[in-house]
Chains A and B, each alone.
Chain A
C-alpha cells in the first residue's frame, strides 16, 4: 500500500507500509455464531426495558404531583381553619404576650397554643415534602440503572 494522499498529515514511509501490513496480517476476530440472534434478543429486551422505565417514570411523576397537591390542600385547609378560629399569632407577639401580659394568663396560653400548632403544621408539611421527594428519588435511583445495565 502506498497512501500518497495530499490530505495526509505526514509523509508516507516504508514504516507505514510495515505497520499497515502487520495490522492487516492479524487474523480477524472470530464472531460468535449466534451474534445476530443475540443482538436481536438484547435489542428487544432493551426496548421493553425502556418502555417499562418510561411507564414507571410517568407513574412517579403523577404520584409526586398528587402528593404535592395533597400536601398543599391539607396545609391550606389547616391554615384556613386556624385563621377562622382567630388566626395565627406572630412569633414576636407571642413572646411579648408571654413576658408583658401577666394579668391575662388565658390569652397568653391561647397564643402559645396557636404558635405551637403553627410550628407543628409547618414541620409536618416540611417532613411530608421531604419524605415524598426522598421516596421518589430512591425509587427512581433503584429503577434507572436497569435501563443501562
Chain B
C-alpha cells in the first residue's frame, strides 16, 4: 500500500485500506459483542479515526498494527456506548455441511451460540485476545503491539479467557 497516497488521504487509497483491513476490525467488533448496525457504526467510526490520523502516520510500526490499535480503542468506546450487547444473532456454522444430521446441526448451532455469547461477555481485552489468538492465529507479540500492553499481560489475558471459555463450553455436548 502506498503510504504517501494514504497520508494525503486519497479516496482510492483509503478505500483499498478499508477493503484490506475491514475483516479483522469487523471480526474484532463481533468478538466484543457488537452486531448489525452497531457493528457497522463502530467500524465506520474506527476507520474514520484512522482516516483522520493518516497524515500523522510515521511508519514506525506496521500499518496493520497501527490501524488495529486505533480500531480496538474505538471499538471499545462503541462497546461501552452500546450498553445492551446483542449476544447470538449469528449465522449458523457451515450451514451446507451434508455430513451433519439435523440433531447434530442443532447441537452445533447451540454450541456456537454459547461460544460467541461467552466470548462477548469476556472482559474486552480478553475477548480481543481470543479473537486475535484463536481466530486470526496471531502470535503473542503481535497481539501485545495491537493492545499496547506487555506480552506478559497478553499471556495472562489469554490464560484467563481460555479457562473461562473451556469451562463454559465443556458443558456443551458437541464440544466434548
Which residues from chain A sit less than 8 Å from chain B, CB to CB?
1, 3, 5, 7-10, 15-16, 18-20, 22-29, 31-32, 35-40, 42-44, 46-47
Contact = CB atoms under 8 A, between A and B. Distances in A.
Interface string B32-57: 00000001100111111111100000
B11 interface: yes
A43 B169 CA distance: 41
B98 interface: no
Contacts of B52: 43, 46-47
Interface in B97-118: 111-112, 115-116
Contacts of B156: 9
Contacts, number: 118
Interface residues of B, number: 52
Given A9-B159, A25-B94, A35-B43, 5 more contacts: A19-B134, A23-B115, A23-B135, A29-B30, A39-B50
A16 B51 CA distance: 37
Contacts of B17: 36
Interface of B: 9, 11, 14-15, 17-19, 22-23, 26-27, 29-30, 39-40, 43-52, 90-91, 93-94, 111-112, 115-116, 119, 130-131, 134-135, 137, 139-140, 151, 155-156, 158-159, 162, 165-166, 169-170, 175
16 contacts: A7-B139, A7-B140, A7-B151, A7-B155, A25-B94, A25-B112, A26-B91, A28-B23, A32-B43, A35-B40, A35-B43, A36-B14, A36-B17, A38-B44, A39-B45, A40-B48
Nearest to A7: B140
